[in-house]
Amino acid sequence: MDRRFWFAAIAAVALLAAQSNQTRPEFEVASIKPFPHPVTENSMTYNAWMSMARSSSHGRFELPMVTLKGLILTAYGVNDFQIVGGPSWMDSDGFDVVAKAVGNATYAQMKPMLQSLLADRFKLTLHRETRELQVYELAVTKGGPKIAPTKAGSCIALDPGSPPPPLGSKICGGIARRFYELTGYAITMPEFLDNLMAIVGRTVIDKTGYKEKFDVDLKFDPCTTPGGLGGASSPGPNSGGCADFSAYPSISAGLQEQLGLRLQSAKGPVEVLVIDHAERPTKN
């Protein structure tokens, strides 16, 4: 075969690699500083990190006291139970992360930049797999659902061009999550399942067939859930730990009693991120 062909092929591969490196989304500047104390993870810290990340705008990304696992959650949009492997410090070492992108990038546009940052500074490598794991199926109880379509005018739809609504207003869409309560107005079943999965620590498959938007105010004992308080000694609203929530039902009983829905164990395919390698970050 003509040697000129091989030289041309090698040159083409090198050019594609160079172009790939040039077009990889990256932050303009980024700072990662170790936090001096161990960080405790639970569903509430995961939720707080995700909420802060989603609020990133105008090209600025900032997360304080976040673990590497928390950064992976925000960069790849997965739940903690979908992350497999990795070093032990990934769940306890905290970092203060501040990064700036060129222009007015949104959170969605900055997620690939965060993935590049993790690869560069934490030497993170991972791959995706689909595994057969324990899941939950959410179905309607024999008595029927106790949720009803949201009534017109019962909540306020946010308008970016208008002044913010009064404090305490019922805002359409999205769910507020506290230790022991999920509250939302005009939400969809997928939005509800996203929050439920973080609490029960498994993928939840929708078997309800419910398509309408609905309101929810679900109270439960967080100390009975894998993704609840993260430990019986965690403080509650009155600093009494799990004793503060003993009057509430388990998440399974709460779903049945308050929403007419039931969780049923099953097995199903779940996509996971397998951590192949990670190192503590290089200095700024």
pLDDT at 163: 86
Q: Are 198 and 48 in contact (CB under 8 A)?
A: no
Whether residue 149 is found in the same domain as residue 125? no
* Total number of domains in the chain: 2
Task: Provide the 8-state DSSP code for 1.
Answer: -
pLDDT at 227: 58
Whether residue 93 is found in the same domain as residue 28? yes
pLDDT at 234 over 60: no
Phi-psi bin for 201: left (phi > 0), alpha (psi -120 to 50), beta?
Answer: left
pTM of the predicted model, to two decimals?
0.77
Whether residue 159 is found in the same domain as residue 81? no
Instruction: State the pLDDT confidence band at 198, using cuts at 50, 70 and 90.
Output: confident
Q: Are 203 and 270 in contact (CB under 8 A)?
A: yes
Q: Which amino acid is located at 39 in the chain?
A: V
Whether residue 49 is found in the same domain as residue 90? yes
Give me the half-sphere count of Cα atoms (radius 13 Å) on the Cβ side of residue 229.
21
Whether residue 266 is found in the same domain as residue 136? yes
Whether residue 49 is found in the same domain as residue 147? no
97 φ/ψ angles, rounded to the nearest 5 degrees: -115, 125
pLDDT at 233: 39
Q: Is residue 4 part of a domain?
A: no
Query: Who contacts 270 (Cβ-Cβ below 8 Å, separation ≥6)?
Result: 82, 130, 131, 132, 133, 135, 203
4/71 Cα distance (integer angstroms): 47
> Structural domain of residue 71, as residue ranges?
24-131+272-277
